[in-house]
Chains A and B, each alone.
Chain A
Amino acid sequence: MEAVESELRWPTYLDPTRLPYPFCPGCSHGLVLDRLNAALVRLQLDPRKVVIVSDIGCSGLSDQYFITNAFHGLHGRSVTYASGIKLANPDLKVVVIMGDGGAGIGGHHLINAARRNIGITVLLLNNFNFGMTGGQHSVTTPHGATTATTRLGNLEYPLDLCGIVAASGGRLVVRATAFDPELSDWIAEAIAGEGFAFFDIWELCTAYFVPSNRLTRRGLEAAMAERGLSRGIVHREERAEYSRAYRELVAAQAGQRVLSPQPLPTRYESGVRKKTHIVIAGAAGQKIRSTATILGRAAVLAGLWATQRDDYPVTVQTGHSVSEVILSLEEIHYTGIPSPDLMLVLAPEGLKVARRTLERLGPQARLYIRSDLLPVETEAQLVPLALASVGKKDQAMMALAALVGDTGLLPLEALREAITVGQKAEVARENLAALEAGVALLGQATVGPVSAT
């Protein structure tokens, strides 16, 4: 049984010290705010648990007349602030008041809020034009209508916002006019429920659209019928509300160990005596970067300081992949590599981008290269590696194992441990097998200075 008004804790949600509304005579905005107030009075929600988020335009003035929380934001973005508030505190009832202008500039947010079914109620005060800025046309201006920016009649066709929101998955979609007596019932139903609710509320803008197009209350209803659009609740769909569904989805994660340091103890002795620059140049899919990370981790296990700098195109699975690794006895500040001491070239893509680096290699440098990529012009000591027939994913680890075995930079045991640290067992197994194959490969390598070909 409904309490009589005098007994209500909140007989009105309008602020008497702020009234009257600032809207033009005959403007429908005030009617809709009265309907919203009636809905809130019906629900008797604590005003501190209600947030009115307003957009830009005449309707953006609305929040100032309510005793609830208010958030007046930027044009078209009201749905994003409302969604942030709801995500932060699902217990709140969040109502967005926006105009048809806001639906144009912020349409993307509208469809995505509907798609997520986030629990906010959007009241779109649709008067078919931009009232505050002088009556320009909007995304809902009817075809042929006259506005400040469609003097010859609107060439464009209006969006059916209800259709868009329904197709995007909103829970409750209502098409109404500001004059519909049931409007407050529908608003109350929307606010009381969970999920995304959307109202396309057709209105009269007495300053601009009405005089230019001779629109009347009857005309509004007729226009709706002419376009074959129905009035009332036009779409219902039950889906979990996003902010609560999110909490259910992640509930089991609570208290799990958060991202924190995973120190690598110094367990091995390295063979590094001076800062050593290593470049690994290959192709996407060869595990160049993950192999470089294993080298870096192994270096840390051997008490060294290391850096790893990667270069790759924006496409991840094609093109070159180059990693630069520095190993040092001291902390490394600058992470660039002027000219590498050791270089691995494992694919034509890597060879192409590393060609300039290759030309800079001096006679002290050592170049490990997939033998099918020869000949190359270089002064470096060439170590051809027979990798062409090996699986793409194993080449980098095999070549690294060959390099480490050949140079004695690090004990192979450090590499083996680095492979297993924080790695899935299956991936570690593959890498370990590649490492052993790379060590075996070394026996076949032609080590030592080779004249440039």
Chain B
Amino acid sequence: MREFIDGSEAIARGALAAGCDFFAGYPITPASGILVHMLRELPKVGGVAIQAEDEIASLGLCIGAAMAGRKAMTATSGPGISLYSENIGLAVMGEVPLVIVDCQRMGPATGGATTVAQGDVQFLRWGTSGGYPIIALAPSTIPECYSLTIHAFNLAERFRTPVFLATDKEMVLTRATVDVAAYEPVPVTSRRYAPPDAAFVPYRIAALEDVPLFSPIGGPHIVRFTTSTHDEFGYLTKDPAKVERLNRHLAAKIDAYRDEIAMVKADLEPGARTLLLSYGTTARAMAEAVALARKDGQKVSALTVLTLWPVPERAILEACEGIERVVVAELNLGQYRLEVERLAAARGIEVVGVHRVDGELITPQEILAHLR
């Protein structure tokens, strides 16, 4: 059985399936569809959804609700991510589980509201002060809009961190036939709660890469949350040993599990000399390019990156085995190509970029032109 839907609806359905019960957002093209879906749907499942006065408040509301025990999500586009920036830092620092959908559009600034782009890729990674790791997933099909939204919630819950769903105008607003069987059922996981009858220390961990147990504000324990550098009790500290432990922990809890977080779709062909690499909407043109090349008798491998951050280094290096050239296709001037170059350089592999910033999609033919 098939349906005809867009990515916005698949993301909203994924959020519902993940147990999302709080949403705050502010209207912005092309993310408004998700806002409208969530405002309409969440009351049906006992959730709360609100249109905030601006993007800063949207994320602030989500952070407050998440610390009171809700599974929270917000959705915006590049200009909104700019306004989210300070609160993304707060969510990293306070270890707040939540999901942020970025429906990318042409930037910088207001850019092109109804124009597709993938220009936020490095911004999502480095968009807050301090430079701490974040997780970002990029769906390349409508069914993945559904399943990766659930994965995003699961990762947010597991690591107590903001997780981005990095999508774009094309993915959320373009309708397509979807086979209903293609929606991958993803088991839902939740944050680990502190035992209700034991003493609770809000940021206590045994090892650096551990994630502190959660207890909701208003629950069985007294909870302390702070934006400032803190000790395990959530009290402000300048003690160098405690400061270092906190900061190394924020990096380690994600770095230590990067291979588990890594998701890619590898379509590797023995004997291929070229590896095509892409993500999001542009991976759809790549899939078509692969089909065209093989129909033509050419050997080619392809890697669709689903986890943009942290970079799935092992998977990319494995896909590079026996490869002479990597072709990175993306709707920006080479933001993810930088990451691939960093990995490929050590092996002497040539990296070529296919980039467009004119608001049009990269075509399969443009990708094929770089085949070796």
Binding site for B on A (CB under 8 A): 47-49, 51, 53, 61, 63-64, 67-74, 77, 80-89, 91-92, 108-109, 112, 243, 246, 250, 253-266, 293, 296-297, 299-300, 304-314, 331-336, 338
Contact = CB atoms under 8 A, between A and B. Distances in A.
Given A70-B223, A80-B57, A84-B63, 20 more contacts: A72-B227, A73-B63, A77-B86, A77-B90, A80-B61, A82-B64, A86-B64, A88-B218, A89-B216, A91-B218, A254-B44, A255-B44, A259-B41, A263-B1, A296-B177, A299-B4, A309-B174, A314-B29, A334-B287, A335-B174
B249 interface: no
Contacts of B12: 259
A67 B46 CA distance: 31
Interface string B117-148: 00000000000000000000000000000000
Interface residues on B, range: 35 or more
A255 B65 CA distance: 22
Contacts of B227: 72-74
A243, A264, A305, A333, most chain B CB atoms within 10 A = A333
Nearest to A335: B174
B180 interface: yes
Interface string B57-74: 100111111111110100
14 contacts: A70-B223, A71-B225, A85-B68, A88-B69, A91-B218, A246-B48, A258-B16, A262-B3, A265-B1, A300-B3, A306-B4, A308-B174, A333-B285, A334-B285
A331 to B, nearest CB: 8
B9, B45, B173, B175, most chain A CB atoms within 10 A = B175
Given A255-B44, A299-B177, A306-B176, A84 B62 contact: yes
Interface in B255-281: none
Interface stretch (B203-211, B341-349, B360-368): B360-368
A227 to B, nearest CB: 29
Interface string B281-311: 0001101100100000000000000000000
Contacts of A310: 173-174
A88 B177 contact: no
B173, B222, B287, most chain A CB atoms within 10 A = B222
A176 B329 CA distance: 62
A338 B365 CA distance: 10
A47 B2 contact: no
A85 B176 contact: no
B2 A264 contact: yes
Contacts of A334: 284-285, 287-288, 361, 363-364
Given A74-B90, A304-B177, A80 B285 contact: no
Nearest to A327: B177
B176 A335 contact: yes
Contacts of A68: 222
B214 to A, nearest CB: 14
A83 B236 CA distance: 23
Contacts of B46: 254
A73, A109, A112, A257, most chain B CB atoms within 10 A = A73
B53 A300 contact: no
B64 A81 contact: yes
B50 interface: yes
A332 B234 contact: no
A85 B67 contact: yes
Interface string B10-30: 001100100000101000010
A258 B4 contact: no
B170 interface: yes
Contact of A69 (B52, B62, B224): B224
A87 B65 contact: yes
A87 B48 contact: yes
B114 A48 contact: no
Contact of B64 (A49, A71, A333): A71
A74 B129 CA distance: 13
Contact of A264 (B4, B221, B224, B225): B4
A72 B63 contact: no
B56 interface: yes
Contacts of A70: 223-226, 234
A71 B63 CA distance: 11
Given A80-B56, A254-B44, A300-B2, A92 B176 contact: no
B195 interface: no
B322 interface: no
B226 A72 contact: yes
B114 A314 contact: yes
Nearest to A266: B2
Contacts of A250: 43
Given A72-B227, A92-B217, A259 B37 contact: yes
B41 A258 contact: yes
